[in-house]
Chain A
Amino acid sequence: MAGSDDRAVLRRARGLGSAKSGVRHWWWQRVTAVALVPLTVWMLVLLLATAGEGRRALMVWLGNPAVSVLTVMFVVMMAWHMVLGLTVIAEDYLHHEGVKFAAITLIQVGGVIVGVAGVISVLWLALGGTQ
Chain B
Amino acid sequence: MTERTRPRSPHVQIYRPQLTSVLSFTHRLSGIALSVGGVILVVWLLLAAAGGSAFGGLNAALGSWFGRLLLFLWTFALFFHLCNGIRHLFWDAVLGFELANIYRSGWLVVVASTVLTVLTWVIAMSMPGVA
Check whether chain A touches chain B (CB < 8 angstroms). Answer: yes
Cβ–Cβ contact A33 & B129, under 8 A? no
Neighbouring A residues of B78 by C-beta, 8 Å: 40, 44
Q: Per-residue CB proximity of A47-63 to B under 8 Å, as 1/0?
A: 01111111101100000
Cβ–Cβ contact B45 & A125, under 8 A? yes
Residue of B with least CB distance to A122: B45
Residue of B with least CB distance to A82: B35
Neighbouring B residues of A54 by C-beta, 8 Å: 59, 129
CB distance from A113 to the nearest CB of B (A): 9
Cβ–Cβ contact A48 & B123, under 8 A? yes
A residues 93-130 near B (Cβ < 8 Å) are 110, 114, 117-118, 120-122, 124-125, 129-130
Q: B55: CB under 8 A from chain A?
A: yes
Cβ–Cβ contact B51 & A55, under 8 A? yes
B residues 49-64 near A (Cβ < 8 Å) are 49-51, 55, 59, 63
Q: Considering the chains assembled together, what is the distance between the CA atoms of A49 and B130 in angstroms?
A: 10
Cβ–Cβ contact B45 & A40, under 8 A? no
A residues 63-96 near B (Cβ < 8 Å) are 75, 78-79, 82, 85-86, 89
Partner of A52, one of B45, B120, B129: B129
Q: Is the interface of B mostly helix, strand, loop or mixed?
A: helix
Cβ–Cβ contact A30 & B89, under 8 A? yes
Q: A40-B78, A48-B127, A51-B127 are in contact. Are A58 and B48 (CB under 8 A)?
A: yes
CB distance from B115 to the nearest CB of A (A): 14
Cβ–Cβ contact A44 & B38, under 8 A? no
- Pairs across A and B, CB under 8 Å, 11 listed: A33-B88, A48-B123, A52-B130, A75-B42, A79-B38, A82-B35, A86-B35, A89-B28, A89-B32, A117-B45, A120-B49
What are the 7 A-B residue pairs with the smallest beta carbon separation, nearest first? A52-B129, A130-B51, A121-B45, A124-B49, A121-B49, A118-B42, A53-B129
Chain A interface (Cβ < 8 Å from any Cβ of B): 30, 33-34, 36-37, 40, 44, 48-55, 57-58, 75, 78-79, 82, 85-86, 89, 110, 114, 117-118, 120-122, 124-125, 129-131
